[in-house]
Each structure stands twice: as structure tokens, then as C-alpha cells.
Chains A and B, each alone.
Chain A
Amino acid sequence: MKRTIILVFILIFSLSSCTGFESVEEYNKRNTTKKSNITATVSIDCKDVLKNIKTLDKAVKKIIPKNAYFLKNYKASVEKGDTAYSLILKVAKNNNIQIDCLSPQESSYNTAYVKGIGNLYEKDCGKNSGWIFYVNGVSSQVGCSDYYVKDKDVIEFTYICDINKIYQKEEK
């Protein structure tokens, strides 16, 4: 009985791992972006953190960039069918910024969910903190994998420390 369990484990593991292993260099070398005429401006910032530095988790203090911008006004080429989600993945990879998100299939909201960018994760600055994104200065009504990027869009991924305040603002 024990033997079969171990064998099954090994089998599943080896099958699933046949694909997918790459070293860090190989991963970084992979450049999948194609040039296109459509561009969008992407920014990643955490300005709200600087205002709430007291509630920030001590572990992440060191990785906050000085001016609170991980990425400022980066011009990204947009391919056909790109969503804010696929765009931010490409942009982060090209700029060596760490990004951790759940794909639409994995997430429980049926849309992609960004857990952390640049090692700054949700809930690191109070229990209501996390990443949201703005399109052309307006907070998005849909998830980032449901918004299709158009030409000349300004996409901003912002880290906010209290999601409730944003909701209150919007209501007003």
C-alpha cells in the first residue's frame, strides 16, 4: 500500500515536470514581445506607502524604491488581444521587475489577480493593502485580464494601503 502511494507520487511528479524547467538565465533570455504600432504607457508605483510608512511590514522596507516608482512611464508595445494583465507581465519581465499573480484560471475571481510586484505583496502595509490599476487615470471596473488595452492608453499599477478609502472616494 505504501509502495503504491510513493510510486504514484513519483509518476505524477515526473510527468508534470517533464516540461517547464528553465534556469534563471534561460528565462530572462526569453523575449516574446513583438514590435507593433500600438503602444501604451505603463507605470508601477507605491506612492501611498510613503504616506503610510508606519504600517509597512519591516521585512519589505528595503525594497521600496526611493521615489516610490518601480517603473515610470515606460512605453510598451501592445500586441493584438493584449489585456492589462498580459501587458504588465511582459513589461515586468523586460524590466527585471519581480511579479507574482494568479492567472484567471487559478484566481477565484475568474479574472487575473496581482499578488505582488517588486517583492511588495498585498497585505504588507496593513490588512487592506494591495495592488490596483488605473486606466487613463480612472480606476478600473473590471479585472486586469478583462481590460483590452487600446492605443495610447496610460496604465498605472498602484499599491494602495487601504482599499476601503478608495471605495469611499469613488462613492463620493
Chain B
Amino acid sequence: MRDLEKFHPAALGVYFVCVLGILMFLNNPVIIVISLFSGAFLVLLLKKFELKSLVFLTSLLLLICISNPLVSHKGATPLFYFNSSPITLQSVVYGLFFALMLIAVIIWCKILNFVLGGDSFIYLFSKPLPKTALILKLSLRFIPLFKQQYHKTKNSVKVLGLYNGNKKIKSEIRVINAVIAFMVENSIETARAMNARSYNNKYRSRYRFKKFGVYDFCFLVLTLILATLTVVFKQKFYFYPNFSEVSFSLGYLTFFVLAFMPIFIVLKGELKWKFLISKI
């Protein structure tokens, strides 16, 4: 068993497609809650938790919960009336679960970004679409460069007294203009360096730094089986006009296992290390 990041990008890619697909298209509160918990737990385990994002997510939740009832008056149980339109329990709850679904998607995307970061993601494309992969690679390199140059230019512009706090948009545009000019210059030089390293359009080999092993195969097969079972045994949930009943279904169990697979991998790895170290 190895670290989550060390799995083959193709296996991980399929996993995330399955989880996110089920989460977004099945629209079932039980599934949403399971994804939310497993996603949040995984983020904590991977130590990628940030307080700032929690604030953002809570405000998103509140925003959607408040705006959905104002827009949709469907539902059999009005709680109170606002401007002669009913604010119903069903639309509040629908808004709540919709927001939770969005939050779960955001959390899982964060995990995806961590696990399938940068190079691994590009690696997925390098065999089928090598030129696209190369362009992606270059873009990834340019993003942090853009950020750095933006800060430097902003500081320079400030010190020259040209950054007006009142005309913020104009000043920002000036900064961004300069940064774009810099990026264009930089890209010409990068092209020249690529040429100097004998870059040619025709045939290039592909550096396969991740091999598809037994663990990856098992992971992939397990993912596909669980995902298929979840979809087959899905329970359609209705919000309007009344909530449909939620009963135990095999689909929920298989999705639970699917969602907790990465947690299991991470935990097992940590426990193993602790055990090995304690033996020293």
C-alpha cells in the first residue's frame, strides 16, 4: 500500500470522475452527506484545512439557503409568507442540500488538486494528446510566475506613487498590462530556450515516471465496481411537494465504501509507519 499521491494518475482520475459524477448527478441527500463527511475528513487527514475556506463555504451555504426559498415557492409546507409568497420548508431544505452538494464538490476538487497536482494531471494527457499536454505543462509553469511578477510590479507602481487608492481599477489595469508584457517577453525567451534544448515538433519520447502497478489496477477495478453498484441501486429522492422516504439501499453502502477508500489508504499508511517506528 502506498501514499495516495503515488497512485497512477489514470486510476485516481477515474476515481474522482466517479465520485464527483455520482455526487452531482444523483442528487440524493444521503449521498451528499456521505461525500461531505468523507471529503472533510480527508482534507483534515491530509492537513489541507484552511480557516479562510471555511468562512467562504459557510457564507456560500447561507447565501444559497436564503436565496432558494425566495425564488422557488414550490413545496407543500409553508413556514411563513413573504410578500404574499410562501416560504416553504421544502425549498429551504432543497436549498440547504444544494449548497451542501456544492460544498462537497468544492472540497473534493480541493483533494483532487492536491492528489493529482500539476505534473500528474498533465501526465494523463501526455500519451493521447502530447501537444496539449505540453501546452498545459507550460501554462502550469507560468501561473506562479505571473503571480510573482504581479506582486513585484504592484510594489514598484506603488512606490512610484502611481497606485492611486481611489482609482483602484485603473491602477490594477496598469499593473496587469505591464505583467502581460513581461509574460509575452518571457515566453519568447522560453521558446528560445526550448529550441536550444533541441525541441522538435515531430517525435518525442514520453517520460513515464509513474508505472501502472498491481495496486493501481485493484484500485481502478474496485472504484468501477462500487460506482456501478451505486448507480444501479440508486434511490431517486424528491424534495417537492413532500420529501420522499429514505430507506436503506445497497447503493448507499457501496457509495460509503467508495467515498472512504482514500481515507482508508491514508490511515493505513500512517498506522503502518507508526507501527514500524515504534519497533525501533
Contact = CB atoms under 8 A, between A and B. Distances in A.
A92 to B, nearest CB: 12
B82 A121 contact: no
Interface string B128-149: 0000000000000000000000
A29 to B, nearest CB: 11
Given A63-B241, A119-B240, A119-B241, A22 B81 contact: yes
Interface in A37-95: 57-60, 62-63
Contacts of A62: 242
A24 B78 contact: yes
Given A59-B238, A59-B241, A21 B80 contact: yes
23 contacts: A17-B82, A20-B84, A21-B82, A22-B82, A23-B80, A24-B78, A24-B81, A26-B81, A27-B78, A27-B80, A27-B84, A27-B86, A57-B238, A58-B238, A59-B242, A60-B241, A62-B242, A63-B76, A63-B242, A98-B86, A100-B74, A116-B74, A119-B240
A20 B83 contact: yes
A24 B73 contact: no
Given A19-B83, A58-B238, A63-B76, 7 more contacts: A20-B83, A22-B81, A24-B78, A58-B236, A60-B241, A62-B242, A63-B242
Given A100-B73, A100-B74, A24 B242 contact: no
Nearest to B66: A13
B53 interface: no
A98 B86 CA distance: 9
Interface residues of B, number: 18
Contacts of A22: 80-82
Nearest to A13: B66
Interface centre among A26, A27, A57, A63 (most CB of B within 10 A): A27
A49 to B, nearest CB: 15
A121 B240 contact: yes
B79 interface: yes
Interface string B227-261: 00000000010101110100000000000000000
Interface centre among B86, B238, B241 (most CB of A within 10 A): B241
Interface in A1-37: 17, 19-24, 26-27
Contacts of A17: 82
Contact of A21 (B75, B78, B81): B81
A62 B76 CA distance: 12
Given A100-B73, A121-B74, A24 B240 contact: no
Task: Identify the 8 closest CB pairs spanning chains A and B, nearest first.
Answer: A59-B238, A119-B241, A20-B83, A27-B81, A22-B81, A23-B80, A20-B82, A100-B73
B78 to A, nearest CB: 6
Interface string B59-87: 00000000000000111101111111010
Contacts of A98: 76, 86
Contacts of A24: 78-81
B52 to A, nearest CB: 11
Interface in B209-223: none
B88 to A, nearest CB: 9
Contacts of A59: 238, 240-242, 244
Interface in B84-112: 84, 86
Interface centre among B74, B78, B81, B86 (most CB of A within 10 A): B81
A22 B242 CA distance: 22
Contacts of A20: 81-84
